[in-house]
Every structure is written in structure tokens, then in C-alpha cells.
Amino acid sequence: MLQGHQTWVFNNRPTIISAATVGGPFEAEGPLANDFDLLHGDLWLGQDSYEKAQKKMLEEACEKAIQKGGLQKQDIQFFLAGDLLNQIISSSFAARTMAMPFLGLYGACSSSMESLALGALIVNSKAGNYVLCGTVSHNGAVEKQFRYPTEYGAQKPPTAQWTATAAGVALLAAEGEGPKVTCATIGRIVDMGISDPYNMGGAMAPAAVDTITAHFRDLRINPREYDIIATGDLGRVGHEIASDLLKKHNIDIPTEIFTDCGLLIYGPNQQSEVLAGGSGCGCSAAVTYGHLLNRMKKGELRKILIVATGALLSPLSYQQKESIPCIAHAVSIVSSQ
């Protein structure tokens, strides 16, 4: 059911019956290491390219989520996924391996919640009973495409962020035990004229604020209904900008519940490398489907809002000196306890 201008309310409350996350060696050194289902000690994952390693991570997360859900591949009706590589090759090639009906998405780093929102819409409408939603990013593959190969050793400004080597997948079902997806607010494109690919947080912050504003306007609820409101990959710079903009919009979100996945995934001892924080499709997916859902299982969180942000640029648009169009999608998840 549509409520307001851009929010879906899922009356049937699709259930996340399982979720799985996979991380790389740098993520294994971070504070959320224990929340990953699988951690790799090598960026290559036994593959001969970073792109193939990224695909393998998504496949592993899918297989683990299906296993944890007590299902088989043939039980899954739809697989919704996207990533940052050209033509979303990691997702489509993983779908080739998984042999499931596939819908490829591109929302950049917002793909984690874009896939979950659309998956919930499918399940809520009874168009499918089991839907797999996920995304992935790999530091070596994504940095090479959007900036410089990591081997180049290019110096980055303090506003830059570290692309997470991580995959996160959720398995949605019409029935079962687990957290419920209650609603989703679909974002609009917001472009404030920023063209610096090393300042993604600054570019995406207005889109996050626009979607958060729409969410509370459409539902007519108070931010304090949530235990956590987490943006996806704004990092330190973008998080500060978003906090300031929310105040200007008279939206009072207590600082203790407003956080960012890019700030949670890495610790202080990794600061010199991550600079402003984490980024990449896999960052918000891994933090949500690993860390935050685990906290829900422990009874620490009852209701969370994940606002995944995406910078919809490409190497071509950057070379043509285009500004960066950005978007954010918000999904509300409540504990079944």
C-alpha cells in the first residue's frame, strides 16, 4: 500500500528468515568481524582477478543465506541484486551460477536497500514466496574502476572513503521466523552540483536527508520510534553534513540513534587507511545483515531504519565533467521478538 508520496507500507510484513555476510581481510580486522558469516584472508579468494573474487563473494553469501534459511536453490523464486562494476557483472554472473530468476539492479551503494525494498514488495504482493536480495563490493575491483588501481598508490584527500570488500544477502519469505520488513521509502535523485569522486559523503548527504524527510512526512511518525537510524556509507564527512541538514529541516534525530554504516564497519586503528570511512555496496549490506540484525536477535534493537545512499556517477560521466546525481532508499525493519 502506498502511503504519502513515496512510501510503501507492507501490510503482510515480509520476513527476513535468514541473512548472510562475507568479508575480506581488512574487514576481518575491524570491530564487526564477529558479525560476518565468512571472512577471507586474501583479497583474491583463489581467483585470477578481483572481479571474479567479487562475484565469488556474492555467490558465497547467497549460498550461506539459503542454507541458513533451510531451503534449496530451486526454492527461490527471484534473485534481486546489483553491484558497482560496469553492467553489474558480478551480480549477473553470480545469477548465472545460482540459476535463479534474476532481476538486476543498479542503485550504486543504495542497491542494498533497493533490492530489499523491491523484494519485500514482491513478497508482500504475493508475487513470490521466497526472494533473495543482496549486493557486493570489492576494494580492488571498485577502486580500479572508479578511481585508480590500488597498485598505483594514488594519494587521497581526507574526504575519500574506503570501498568495503564485503557481500550481504537477505532471504525474504512470506512466512517464518525473523525480523519483519514493514515499509520502504523510495528516494528521489538529488544533485547538488558536486563532481568530486573523492567526496561521496558530501554528494550523497542531501539525498539521505531528502529520503529521511519523506519517510517521516509520509508515515507521520517521530524519529524516536526507531532504536537506530543508519545511513549507508556517508562516512564521517557526509554524516556531519546530514546531521546539520536534518536540523535545518527541523527533524530531531537524537545523536545516539543516528549513525552510518561507513562509520561502524571499521575501527580507529584503521582510520589512516579508511580516511572518512567505509563505502561500497557491500558496506551497508554487511553492516545491516550482519551486525544490526544480530543485535536485533539479541534483543538490543527493536526497530531500525536503514537509509542506503548511492552516487550514480560513472567513469564516463566523471570524464565528461558531469556532477554526481545521488539517491537514497530507506527500509524499516522490526524485530519479531
Which positions ≥6 away from 97 have C-beta within 8 Å? 55, 59
Domains contained in the chain, CATH given: 2-173 (3.40.47.40), 181-334 (3.40.47.40)
Write down the pLDDT at residue 151: 61
Q: What is the DSSP secondary-structure string of 138-178? A: -HHHHHHHHS--GGG-----TT--EEP-EEEEEEEESSSSS
Residues 273-291 as b or e (16 or more Cβ within 10 Å = b): ebbbbbbbbbbbbbbbbbb
Percent share of the chain, pLDDT over 70: 97
Write down the pLDDT at residue 92: 98
Three cell numbers at 276? 572518512
Query: For 331-336, what is the mean pLDDT?
Result: 94
pLDDT band at 317 (very low <50, low <70, confident <90, very high): confident
Are the CB atoms for 43 and 96 separated by under 8 Å? no
By DSSP bridging, strand 130-137 and strand 166-173 are: antiparallel
Q: How far apart are CA 289 and CA 19, in angstroms?
A: 6
Whether the predicted pLDDT of 139 surpasses 80: yes
Note the pLDDT tens digit of each residue in 164-215. Answer: 999 999 999 999 999 999 999 999 999 999 999 889 999 999 999 999 999 9
Cα angle, residue 81 at apex, residues 78 and 87 outer, rounded to 5°:
125
Query: For 56-64, what is the mean pLDDT?
Result: 98
Sign of the alpha-carbon torsion through 52, 106, 132, 41: positive
Whether the predicted pLDDT of 8 surpasses 80: yes
Helix axes 50-68, 139-146, angle to 10 degrees: 130
Which positions ≥6 away from 297 have C-beta within 8 Å? none
Three cell numbers at 99? 540459476
Are the CB atoms for 183 and 27 separated by under 8 Å? no
Q: What is the pTM of this model?
A: 0.96
Q: How far apart are CA 158 and CA 142, in angstroms?
A: 19
Whether the predicted pLDDT of 116 surpasses 70: yes
pLDDT band at 73 (very low <50, low <70, confident <90, very high): very high
Whether the predicted pLDDT of 313 surpasses 70: yes
Note the pLDDT tens digit of each residue in 226-269. Answer: 999 999 999 999 999 999 999 999 999 999 999 999 999 999 99
Percent share of the chain, pLDDT over 90: 90
